[in-house]
Chain A
Amino acid sequence: MSNIPSDLFYTKTHEWVKRNADGTVTVGITDHAQDLLGDVVFVETPQAGRKLKAGEACAVIESVKAAADVYGPLSGEVVEANAQLADHPEQVNKEPYGAGWLLRLKPDNAAEMSALLDAAAYSTFVAAESH
């Protein structure tokens, strides 16, 4: 069973969202997603300042067997992308909830958070999807 921390929020496209104290959110892909992708060899992150709509493709993760789009979980502006991933894409596999984070976003509308899944709901979703 993959690791699904209880203090994060999730999407059905396997991104996680963490609320930060400064009003921004940090976004990454889940442990389950990195496991499906296999060894990540390249990550393309968006430029800071880019405006995203919820559900819009905003990053690409390339593994030895696939290339997957990452979708913005909320509408907002990209504040920062994880520059470390350019040289260390394997962080996405090693620490998907830590050093493997993808980007920080300043949400346009905090109410959109309510559309995200909590850990229990995401866990149920993953279990259902894998059947």
Chain B
Amino acid sequence: MPFIPHTEDDIKAMLAAVGARDINELFDEIPAALRSGKLTQVPPRAAEMEVTRLMSERAAQDGRPLCFIGAGAYEHHIPAAVWELTTRGEFYSAYTPYQAEASQGTLQLLYEFQTMMASLTGMDVSNASLYDGASALAEAVLMAVRANRNACAKRVFMPGTVHPIYRKVVHSIVKNQNIELIEIPYCSAGGHTVPESLEKFQAGEFAALVIPQPNFFGVLEEVDALTDWAHAHGALVIAVVNPVSLALLKPPGEWGEKGADIVCGDGQPLGVPLSSGGPYFGFLCCKQEHVRQMPGRIVGRTLDVDGKPGFALTLQAREQHIRRSKATSNICTNQGLLVTAATIHMALLGPDGLERVAAHSHANTLALLASVCALPGVERVFERPLFHEAVIRVAGDAGAVLRAMQARNILAGFDLTPYYPELGNAILLCATETKTPQDIEHYTTALQQSLTQRAPARRAEYSV
């Protein structure tokens, strides 16, 4: 069955109408140097049966390891009803339809998602999602630079405690718009951004300060002091947060005296499985005063001509179909299906359920930390309070220890050495509510063995 509705005759007729000889001619205006050319790494074609087999074999390679890696993507229990409902035909579409208001169900769902996210973050408005946490942060940076008209410079503070891959993505997206990201070092004892380290900067020199909470190390930042400092110096505050943590922590809208201005993050912990790295979804919320600089769709609740409640897209003049090249972004609904799952997930858990998930994850990580730090050759790196991740330092090569753990079917953490070499053999670990006391004991025993049997494990690896 063909999935492209145009017949050869249709294509010929359309080409004739625009006066082009063939389809390639339509791309003539793209300089040859910018074209990708032949995709030599992509096989020419594969039948469905072959693809299914290949993907099954690849999926089997993942195995069923016990996962203690967080670092931006978290294993949480997802009630079976979430994806049972999400994949129903009525929801199983990634986009708002072109006549959006014809799909009142989709709009109601987005409205509920936006209401939940605004309530979790303490903001006035939310959009209908972005690609992922990293691109959400990039959009937040672009938005802050547009919104902060008092700042004369397009500079944004990006603490070193922000996820290193997020920082890289943000850099890629904003560098050609002449936005400068200024990295702020972190405290080697606390693992947090020290508000005093900002004192050398003058008001008006920058548009925004990014504050991660919890930060990449799992550590809680001094959000109130940082927020107040930024506002006192004419900068907007961009919070990049884990949505699950907000069930326990103060919402960014209440940070400091005035609260954060923009809040973003990755929505994956809200009902989206790890799936070998995606797809996930980003979220973006803000105060009402910045809503016109926000990218993406916003759904409002209204009354129809008969006075009955209904849902409609609102503030569309920001969007590409109206503002064209000057739109805030080309972002639309984005990850609609994942947002559907997140909305159902949050509705099923409720505020109390989400709080229990957060508290249980926090307690498990503290238990894991206490357990492994009792081993010789393992120490906690940062002293400040944390959410559900922690950094340990091991006596021995971190990569080798992690490989030895993997050989025992445990994904023991994220190797920090390529990103933070100054921390030595540091590993970022995470124990969510999915981990039992037995899992933590198992991890500890395996780590003890991996530390002492490190050398043989490494030789075995190289001999393969």
* Interface set of A (CB-CB < 8 Å, partner B): 41-42, 44, 47, 57, 62-63, 66-67, 69
Determine whether B317 belongs to the interface, using a CB cutoff of 8 Å to chain A. Answer: yes
Q: B149 near A66 (CB under 8 angstroms)? A: no
Assess whether B292 is in contact with A66, with CB atoms less than 8 Å apart: no
Q: Is there an interface contact between A42 and B149, defined as CB atoms closer than 8 Å?
A: no
* B317/A42 in contact, CB under 8 A: yes
Residue of A nearest to B318 (CB): A67
Report how far A93 CA is from B135 CA in the complex, Å.
39
Q: B-side binding surface: helix, strand, loop or mixed?
A: helix
B322 within 8 A of A: yes
0 or 1 for each of B128-169: is its CB under 8 Å from A? (1 = yes): 000000000000000000000110000000000000000000
| Residue from the list A41, A57, A67 in contact with B322, Cβ < 8 A | A67
**Residue contacts A-B, CB under 8 angstroms, 18 given:** A41-B317, A42-B292, A42-B317, A44-B292, A47-B149, A47-B150, A57-B326, A62-B292, A62-B317, A63-B317, A66-B317, A66-B322, A67-B317, A67-B318, A67-B322, A67-B323, A67-B326, A69-B326
- 305-360 of chain B: CB within 8 A of chain A: 317-318, 322-323, 326
State how many residues of chain B have any CB contact under 8 Å with chain A: 8
What separation, in Å, do the CA atoms of A62 and B149 have in the docked complex?
A: 18
* Chain B residues close to A by CB (< 8 Å): 149-150, 292, 317-318, 322-323, 326
The binding surface of chain A is classed by DSSP as: strand
CB distance from B433 to the nearest CB of A (A): 44
Docked pose: A11 CA to B150 CA in angstroms: 29
Note all chain A residues with C-beta closer than 8 A to B318.
67
Nearest to B289 among chain A residues (CB) is: A86
A42 to B323, CA, bound (A): 14
| A57 vs B318: C-alpha distance when bound (angstroms) | 16
Question: Shortest distance in angstroms between B461's beta carbon and chain A's nearest beta carbon?
Answer: 59
List 8 other contacts, CB 8 Å, given A63-B317, A67-B317, A67-B326.
A42-B292, A47-B149, A47-B150, A62-B292, A66-B317, A67-B318, A67-B323, A69-B326
Task: Collect the chain B residues with CB atoms within 8 Å of residue A42's CB.
Answer: 292, 317
Chain B residues positioned under 8 Å from A47 (CB to CB)? 149-150
- Give the one of B149, B150, B317, B326 with max A CB within 10 A: B317
Complex: A47 Cα to B148 Cα, angstroms: 11
* Interfacial chain B residues near A63, Cβ < 8 Å: 317
B-chain residues with CB within 8 Å of residue A44 when the two chains form the complex: 292
Complex alpha-carbon distance, A69 and B324, angstroms? 12
How far is it, in angstroms, between the C-alpha of A101 and the C-alpha of B150 when the chains are bound?
22
> In the complex, which residue of chain B has the Cβ closest to the Cβ of A60?
B326
Give the top 4 A-B pairs by smallest Cβ distance, nearest first.
A67-B317, A62-B317, A67-B323, A47-B149
Look across to chain B and name the residue whose beta carbon is closest to the beta carbon of A64.
B317
A69 to B327 alpha-carbon distance, docked (Å): 12
Q: Please name all residues of chain B whose beta carbon is closer than 8 Å to the beta carbon of A66 when the two chains form the complex.
A: 317, 322
Residue of A nearest to B327 (CB): A67
Name the B residues within 8 Å of A41 (CB-CB): 317
Residue of A47, A62, A69 contacting most chain B CB atoms (<10 Å): A62
Query: Please, how many angstroms separate the alpha-carbon atoms of A86 and B326 in the complex?
Result: 21
In the complex, A62→B317 CA distance in Å? Answer: 7
Task: List residues of chain A with CB within 8 A of the CB of B322.
Answer: 66-67
Q: Name the residue of chain B whose CB is nearest to the CB of A62.
A: B317
Closest to B292 in A: A42
Residues of A within 8 A of B317 (CB): 41-42, 62-63, 66-67
Q: CA A78 – CA B322 in complex, angstroms? A: 27
State how many angstroms separate the Cβ of A39 from the closest Cβ of chain B. Answer: 12
Residue in B closest to A57 when the chains form the complex, CB atoms: B326
Q: How far, in whole Å, are A56 and B323 apart by their CA atoms in the complex?
A: 17
A63–B315 CA distance with the chains assembled, in angstroms: 10
Write the nearest CB–CB distance from A83 to chain B, whole angstroms: 14
Rounded to whole Å, the gap between the CB of A2 and the closest CB of chain B is 23
A41 CA / B149 CA spacing, docked (Å):
20
Cα(A67)–Cα(B318), bound, Å: 8
A57: chain B residues within 8 A (beta carbon): 326
Chain A nearest Cβ from B125, distance in angstroms = 14
Residues of B within 8 A of A62 (CB): 292, 317
User: Which residue in chain B gives the minimum CB-CB distance to A63?
Assistant: B317
Q: CA–CA, A42 to B317, complex, Å?
A: 10
Compute how far the CA of A67 lies from the CA of B323 in the bound complex, rounded to whole angstroms: 6
Give the distance to chain B from A58, nearest Cβ to Cβ, in Å: 12
- Cα distance, A69 to B323, chains bound together (Å): 9
A67 and B316 CA atoms in complex are apart in Å by 9
Collect the chain A residues with CB atoms within 8 Å of residue B323's CB: 67
Contacts of A67 in B (CB 8 A): 317-318, 322-323, 326
Q: Which residue of B lies closest to A86 (CB)?
A: B289
Chain A residues whose CB sits within 8 angstroms of the CB of B326 once the complex forms: 57, 67, 69
A47 to B151, CA, bound (A): 11
Q: How far apart are the CA atoms of A47 and B322 in the complex, in Å?
A: 25
A57–B326 Cα distance when bound, in Å, is 11
In the complex the two chains form, what is the Cα distance from A66 to B292 in whole Å? Answer: 14
For A66, give the chain B residue with the smallest CB separation: B322
CA of A62 to CA of B327 in the docked complex: distance in angstroms? 12
> What CA separation (Å) do A44 and B317 show in the bound complex?
13
Shortest distance between the CB of A103 and any CB in chain B (Å):
14
